């Protein structure tokens, strides 16, 4: 059974920063590609950033240079450092885990609201 628990969301002014955390209960966590997705009201869920088991990151163009994804395999945790936040970053942010062709696992989501 896989559980992903996000934390760190909240309300912040434009230009501010937040750090999201996702604690995972997964066997062999280091083998999973971990990711952060977000979904704004009325929009589809989109990939924000992902990181392979080996630590290689990938970012959506809209967050490059502002967001940083990282992982601590000793703690089975993945992070998303979000800087220079914009109102358009407002969304529910979801943690995601996937191993090769296995199933997709999702957290319950954490709300991020950026005020202008």
pLDDT for residue 1: 82
Across the range 14-43, mean pLDDT stands at 96
**Residue partners of 81: CB distance under 8 A and separation at least 6:** 17, 19, 67, 68, 69, 70
Across the range 29-51, mean pLDDT stands at 97
pLDDT for residue 100: 86
**Residue partners of 27: CB distance under 8 A and separation at least 6:** none
pLDDT averaged over every residue in the chain: 96
Predicted confidence band at 107 (pLDDT cuts at 50, 70, 90)? very high
Among candidate residues 48, 23, 24, 51, the one with its CA nearest the CA of residue 38:
48
With 90 as the cut, is the pLDDT of residue 9 above it? Answer: yes
Helix, strand, coil percentages for the chain (3-state, nearest 5): 10, 55, 40
pLDDT for residue 72: 97
């Amino acid at each position: 059974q896989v559980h992903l628990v996000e934390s760190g969301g909240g309300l912040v002014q434009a230009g501010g920063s937040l750090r999201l955390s996702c604690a995972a209960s997964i066997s062999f966590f280091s083998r999973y590609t971990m990711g952060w997705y977000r979904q704004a009201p009325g929009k589809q869920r989109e990939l924000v950033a992902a990181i392979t088991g080996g630590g290689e990151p990938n970012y959506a163009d809209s967050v490059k240079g502002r967001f940083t994804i990282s992982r601590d395999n000793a703690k089975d945790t993945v992070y998303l450092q979000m800087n220079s936040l914009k109102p358009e970053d407002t969304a529910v942010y979801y943690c995601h885990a996937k191993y090769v062709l296995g199933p997709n696992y999702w957290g319950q989501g954490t709300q991020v609201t950026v005020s202008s």
